[in-house]
Amino acid sequence: MKRILAIAGPVLGLVLGLAACGNPATPASPEAPAVQAGEAPAETGAAGSVNIYSARHYDSDKAMYATFEAETGIRVNVRESGAPELLETMRAEGSRSPADIIIASDAGALYRFQEAGFTQAITSEKLTAAIPAQLREKDGHWFGLTKRYRIIVYDPQVVSANEVTTYADLADPRLKGEVCVRSSTNIYNLSLMGEIIGHVGAEAAEEWARGVVANLARKPQGGDTAQIEAVAAGECAVALVNHYYWVRLANGSPEERLKTTKTLLSFPDQNGNGTHVNVVAAGVAANSPSRENAIRFLEFLATPQGQELLTAETKDIPVVAGSALPAGLEQVTGFKESDFPLSELGVHQAEAQAIFDRAGWN
């Protein structure tokens, strides 16, 4: 193919700092008591506390917790770990779990907690009014707080824009040896496959997965940032990633920004179902010792102030009307989003993994 030079448009914003995961429980402020497995939560003053099990690992969340503490007097205690580890922690804790809130970075991950019986249905007029129905569980087990898009990053020197307009294009033989992806066990890929199954059925979804595997430039490996770097390095020409990974690199060091100038973005299926949407979501734990404080925390996150704290550095998309769009997302607007119900992503999760396994997408 004719190789051309294309430079992505400027993107302005802040660099995301990843928090180091040390102790399994981390207080939001130095004097806050950590929550340990099986212990009752510590109450601090008349307002009490709220205990958060979070699969997010961002330094910026500390400011979010501190702001909530300052405005409400409710002490925030945080346990950070991966969603699978938090799920196992709650299994071990059983009814003694001190968790009030569960936060995860994918609707499919919250589905696992719900299926295990670790969430409860809640009613909140504020949450119902602020968060679109498509982005929350129908009975109130969890609420989507920010949006993220599963998009295609490509090298315009190798692939033209019209070759990557749909997810189906990733399975087209003309891209043989040009596709990079992460593992099939990653929740982002499982949720995307869940939507594909919902749209076209399991048989067609498996045919697509086999086509993608046939086009792989390398064995699935690494996270989304690694996929972008592989495209920039010429190891492959096309990759599936969540949008914010690209935006963060575009706002990073000169070396990181250079990687994004070698790539362009495609928001798939604009003439069809629209680009796949997922959410950072949170729900109230089934055995929450401080249920009212938990609901109050979720309602805080569903305000423009809470949305800004959630998204300014992570580069997710706010879901609440009137919230400011984080700097650096100028290129991530104005396209058609899928309206597939996010509560259905988890329903297809086991089938999605089975399809990936049969297709050899390891």
CB 99 within 8 A of CB 51: yes
Within-domain flag for 103: yes
Within-domain flag for 7: no
Q: In this structure, are 223 and 352 located in the same domain?
A: yes
Please give the pLDDT value at position 42. 47
The token pair at 210 is 């086999």
Q: In this structure, are 287 and 240 located in the same domain?
A: no
Within-domain flag for 50: yes
Within-domain flag for 129: yes
Within-domain flag for 181: yes
Q: In this structure, are 84 and 59 located in the same domain?
A: yes
Please give the pLDDT value at position 219. 97
Q: In this structure, are 212 and 342 located in the same domain?
A: yes
CB 184 within 8 A of CB 360: no
Q: In this structure, are 84 and 38 located in the same domain?
A: yes
Where b means 16+ CB within 10 Å and e means fewer, 127-151 reads: beebbeebbbbeebbbbbbbbbbbb
Q: In this structure, are 124 and 222 located in the same domain?
A: no
Q: In this structure, are 176 and 224 located in the same domain?
A: yes
Residue 332 CB partners (closer than 8 Å, separation 6+): 149, 243, 247, 265, 317
Please give the pLDDT value at position 46. 61
Q: In this structure, are 83 and 161 located in the same domain?
A: no
DSSP-derived secondary structure for 48-80: -EEEEEE---BTHHHHHHHHHHHHH--EEEEEE
Q: In this structure, are 209 and 349 located in the same domain?
A: yes
Within-domain flag for 325: no
Query: Measured in whole angstroms, how far is the alpha carbon of residue 91 from the centre of its chain?
Result: 23
Range of the domain at 269: 148-276+337-359
Within-domain flag for 11: no
Q: Is 266 helix (H, G, I), strand (E, B) or coil?
A: strand
Q: pLDDT of the chain along its 362 residues, tens only?
A: 333 323 333 333 333 333 333 333 444 543 333 444 333 444 445 689 999 999 998 988 999 999 999 999 999 999 999 999 999 999 999 999 999 999 999 999 999 999 999 999 999 999 999 999 999 999 999 999 999 999 999 999 999 999 999 999 999 999 999 999 999 999 999 999 999 999 999 999 999 999 999 999 999 999 999 999 999 999 999 999 999 999 999 999 999 999 999 999 999 999 999 999 999 999 999 999 999 999 999 999 999 999 999 999 999 999 999 999 999 998 898 999 999 999 999 999 999 999 999 999 99
Task: Look up the CATH number of the domain holding residue 305.
Answer: 3.40.190.10
Q: How many folded domains does the chain comprise? A: 2
Q: In this structure, are 219 and 352 located in the same domain?
A: yes
Please give the pLDDT value at position 330. 86
Q: In this structure, are 353 and 240 located in the same domain?
A: yes
Within-domain flag for 21: no
Q: In this structure, are 66 and 195 located in the same domain?
A: no
pTM over 0.85: yes
